[in-house]
Amino acid sequence: MDRQVLHSGLTRAAVALAGGVAAMAGSYAVVGGSPAFVAAAIANTTVTLAPGFLVTFAITVLGDLGSKLAYWAGLATTAVALGLVVATARIAIRRLNRPLAAPLGVAVGVGLAAAALSGSAVSAVGAAVGAALVSTVVDLGRTDADAASGTTDGSRRAVLSGAVAVAFGLLALGGRQVLATDREDDEEQVPIPDDVAAMLEDARAKSFDVEFLEPLVSDQFYTVDIANVDPDPAREDWSVRIHGAVGEETTYTFEDIDAMDHEHRFETLRCVGESLNGRKMDTAVWTGVPLMNLLESADLQGEYVMLRAADGFYEEFPVDALETGFVAVGMNGRSLPREHGAPARALIPGHWGEINVKWLTEIEILDEPATGYWEKRGWHGTGPVNTVAKLWTENRLDDGRVEVAGPAYAGTRGIERVEVSVDGGSTWNDAQLSDPLPGDDVWRQWVYRYDPPDGAHEVVVRATDGLGTLQPEDEQRAYPSGPSGWVSKTVEPGSL
């Protein structure tokens, strides 16, 4: 191929891609990482359309990296798609030979495409401005010499468009950051209610004084989402509809729920897809109303329930589990954070995390069993959690002893005992347990301190639940029914 043609083709592609990136940045600047972000639809589709085995592989093997990869793939696809729109608009408009035609054409083309992708006019305007900016600067950068010779310095224009896109992108990110910090500051101004503050203090007092051990109310609560960009429904627009096999269909707005009596509960969540000694298990103080208060007047006539959410997630389970369920609107004394399901989520005590549906929109009562989002993909994550004692922390104490510690959790069965072996499982010793927090579905901490043998040795931990059942030793991977087995770790006292 003619080098000149190849060269100008590459330049065009670079300008188009820079336009696509700037369009994304423009959209992000005005709507942030909300569902109206122009890349949200494509990023979320990658997960929804991916085959079940691939999603399972991503969750169990890649973990959080998997969802990051999916998000970046979504961003890249969006940049290329919008870049194609930029390129098409520029080629179509060039023939007009009017100075304002190119940016206007790009703005209209990208604006329409972005509106279709995001369903948001504001987001589309942001995208249009970004793409048009790149297009304009690149055309202004065409020097008189270029014009006179009829050629353009392709590399220079490619670099110029890239620089504009990057500069604009940084500006957009910076602007968002400032806005986000302002909002956090506002949130921190609101005092935590006294009764929640007392519960948080209780948890702090009952947490072991073990260095590097996460306290009984988690510092960092894990998140698991099917969407790369979470829903962000406004409170005023939110409602939950109770329908299906019911005598009386009802809908509650946020205001309705806000007006009801609120309770505060300690509750632990654990994801069925986590690794045996993983970190997708956490505890918070949740504020909300018992689900039964909402269902009272509905007259339930079916045996099963399907909870549905604003992100397209849905999970089914036996209706009995609703009896102790909760609709949470607050977490640790603040309003429920977006990533945990704002404005309202379900909490179903003792069950795996997945049926604790976030961004709850529907409670549908069913006559017949149905299949939930993860069950369609092969998981069995709607039942009670497995018993586990985790080994999260190993410390060397000043007196030479070794201190091992972690959380233990068995859902509503509770934890009665945790034993530790420091000789690979031959002999067992009772660990000390933290005083139980009030609540029917809360983890406890365990700690064990011992004089270590010389050199590396195998520490094994096992829990007994409140029914007196010892945690099974048999090791099972997370897929499909949640991890099980005794956690064990090689401890080398010399390296602690």
Ligand X SMILES: Nc1nc2c(c(=O)[nH]1)N[C@H]1C(S)=C(S)[C@@H](COP(=O)(O)O)O[C@H]1N2
**Residues forming the site for Mo ion (CB under 5 A):** 224, 271, 353-354
φ/ψ (deg, to 5) at 300: -70, 135
Provide the minimum distance between the beta carbon of 232 and ligand X in the complex, in angstroms, as a whole number.
12
**CB of 273: closest distance to ligand X in angstroms?**
7
Instruction: State which of residues 214, 232, 267, 311 lies at the interface with ligand X (CB under 6 A).
Output: 311
The CB-of-355 to Mo ion minimum distance in angstroms stands at 9
Contact status: 221 vs ligand X (CB under 6 A): yes
Residue 64 or 416: the one with the smaller Cβ distance to ligand X is 64
C-alpha to C-alpha distance for 387 and 403, rounded to whole angstroms: 22
Residues contacting ligand X: total by CB under 6 A = 18
Judged by beta carbon, residue 282 or residue 419, the one nearer ligand X is 282
Q: Tell which one of 157, 340, 457, 462 touches ligand X (CB under 6 A).
A: 340
Q: How far is the CB of 415 from ligand X (least distance, A)?
A: 20
Count H helices and E strands in the chain, helices first: 11, 19
- 304-323 per-residue burial string, b: 16 or more CB within 10 A, e: under 16: bbbbbbbbebbbbbebebbe
Judged by CB under 6 A, the stretch of 223-231, 396-404, 420-428, 429-437 that binds ligand X is 223-231
Phi, psi angles (nearest 5°) of residue 271: -90, 135
Does 409 engage in binding with ligand X (CB under 6 A)?
Answer: no
Q: 433 forms bridges with which residues in the sheet?
A: 446
For ligand X, the closer CB: 37 or 168: 37
Stretch that binds ligand X, among 7-15, 306-314, 413-421, 454-462 (CB under 6 A): 306-314
Residue nearest to ligand X (CB): 353
Contact with ligand X (CB under 6 A) among 28, 37, 168, 222: 222
Pairing between β-strand 388-389 and β-strand 360-366 as defined by DSSP bridges: unpaired
Total residues belonging to the chain = 496
Whether the CB-CB separation of 215 and 202 falls below 8 Å is answered with no
Cβ closest to ligand X, residue 266 vs residue 359: 359
Q: Which of 367, 373, 321 is nearest to 347 (CA)?
A: 321
CB of 456 to Mo ion, least distance (A): 34
CB 214 to ligand X: min, Å: 14
441 binds ligand X per the rule CB under 6 A: no
State yes or no: residue 226 binds ligand X (CB under 6 A). Answer: yes
Backbone phi, psi, residue 446, to 5°: -125, 150
Write each residue from 267 to 286 as x if it is in contact with ligand X (CB under 6 A), else as -, in one continuous string: --x-x---------------
**What is the Cα–Cα distance from 36 to 288, expressed in whole angstroms?**
28
Residue 406 pairs with which residues in a beta bridge?
Answer: 446
Q: By the 8 A CB rule, do 448 and 405 touch? A: yes
> Minimum distance from CB of 314 to Mo ion (Å)?
14
Burial 362-374 (b: 16+ CB within 10 A, else e): bbbbbeeebebbb
Rounded Cα–Cα distance for residues 456 and 196 (Å): 44
How many of the other CB atoms lie within 10 Å of CB of 66?
A: 18
Question: In the structure encoding, which two tokens stand for residue 479, read together?
Answer: 């897929």
- 224 near ligand X, judged by CB under 6 A: yes
Shortest distance (Å) from residue 272 CB to Mo ion:
5
Helix (H) or strand (E) holding 365: strand 360-366
Residue written as token pair 């468009």: 161
Nearer to ligand X, 39 or 271 (CB): 271
86 binds ligand X per the rule CB under 6 A = no
Residue 356 lies near ligand X (rule: CB under 6 A): yes
The answer to whether 225 contacts ligand X (rule: CB under 6 A) is: yes
Provide, rounded to whole angstroms, the least separation between the CB of residue 269 and Mo ion.
8
Among 115, 217, 357, 404, binds ligand X (CB under 6 A): 357
Residue 320 CA to residue 193 CA, distance in Å, equals 32
Query: Would you tell me which residues interact with ligand X (CB under 6 A)?
Result: 221-226, 269, 271, 309, 311, 313, 340, 353-354, 356-359
